[in-house]
Amino acid sequence: MIKILAISGSLRANSSNTAILRAAIGLAPDNIDISIYERLGDLPHFNPELDTESVPASVKDWRTRLKESNGVLICTPEYAHGVPGVLKNALDWIVSSGEFMDKPTAVISASPSPDGGDKANASLVQTLTVMTANIVEGATLLIPAISAKVNNKGEVTDSATVQAVSSLVNALAGAINCANN
Ligand SMILES: Cc1cc2nc3c(=O)[nH]c(=O)nc-3n(C[C@H](O)[C@H](O)[C@H](O)COP(=O)(O)O)c2cc1C
C-alpha cells in the first residue's frame, strides 16, 4: 500500500482546497491510501530556539506523519500573492529535520481567480525545492475559478478538474513506485 499524506493550506471548514484533497482520496486507486493531515493549525509559530531535541509534541507528530508517508500531496490557496502562513510555518519546521528530502511531492493551488494561485504555487515549489523534495513532473496543477467547480456539499463538480486531479495522483504514484524500485 502506498501512503500519501495530503496537506491543505486552508484551515477553513468549507475549504475548496480541502475539497480537492477529498476528491483525490476518492479518485485514488485501491493500492493508494491518501489521508489528510488535520493538525497543521496545532503547530506553534516556528522559532529556531524551540527546534531542539525536545520539540513540541505537535511538531513531533507532523514530522512523524511526513516520515511515514511515501509521498505528499499539497493543495493550497494563495493569500496576498503568497503561500498561506500556516503552511509556510509548517514547512519551516521541516527545514532542519529533513523529512521532505527526496520525498515525491505534488503541488496544487486552487483559487477563485483566473490565475489559479500561480504565485503561491510557484513560491511553494521553490520552498520545497530548496528542501530537496522531489517535485514530480506532471504533478503540479493550478485550478482557477474554483468557486464554480465545488458545490456547497464540498464535491468537485467540474469533470476537467476531476480528470486533472486524477492524472496528478497517478503521476505522483508513478514517481513513488519508481523511487521504491
Ligand atoms: C486574506 C486573503 C488573501 C487572499 N489573497 C488572494 C490572492 O493573493 N490570490 C488569490 O488568487 N486569491 C486570494 N484570496 C482568495 C482565496 O483564494 C479564496 O478565499 C480561496 O477560496 C481560499 O481557499 P479555501 O476555499 O481553500 O479556503 C485571498 C483570500 C484571503 C482570505
71 Cβ below 6 A of ligand 1: no
Domain that holds residue 115: 2-180
Distance 180 CA to ligand 1 centre (A): 36
17 Cβ below 6 A of ligand 1: yes
112 Cβ below 6 A of ligand 1: yes
Q: Residue 7 contacts by C-beta under 8 Å, 6 or more apart in sequence?
A: 21, 36, 37, 40, 72, 73, 74, 75, 76, 87, 90
Grid coordinates representing 156 are 468537485
Residues of the chain scoring pLDDT < 70: none
Q: Whose CA is nearest to atom 27 of ligand 1?
A: 15
SS3 179: helix
Q: Residue 125 contacts by C-beta under 8 Å, 6 or more apart in sequence?
A: 107, 135, 140
What pLDDT does 62 receive?
98
The span from the CA of 108 to the CA of 96, in Å, is: 24
| CB hemisphere CA count around 175 (13 angstroms) | 22
DSSP letter string, 108-135: EEE-SSTTTTHHHHHHHHHHHHHTT-EE
What pLDDT does 94 receive?
98
Q: Which of 7, 78, 124, 156 to mutate to test the pocket of ligand 1 (most atoms within 8 A of CB)?
A: 78
Beta-strand relationship, 71-76 and 32-36: unpaired
Domain total in the chain? 1
**What's the DSSP call for residue 146?**
G
What pLDDT does 135 receive?
98
Q: What is the CATH number of the domain that holds 175?
A: 3.40.50.360
39 Cβ below 6 A of ligand 1: no
Distance 179 CA to ligand 1 centre (A): 34
76 Cβ below 6 A of ligand 1: no
148 Cβ below 6 A of ligand 1: no
Q: Whose CA is nearest to atom 28 of ligand 1?
A: 79
State pTM to two decimals. Answer: 0.97
What pLDDT does 180 receive?
81
What pLDDT does 179 receive?
85
- Residues shown for the chain: 181
What pLDDT does 176 receive?
96
Distance 84 CA to ligand 1 centre (A): 9
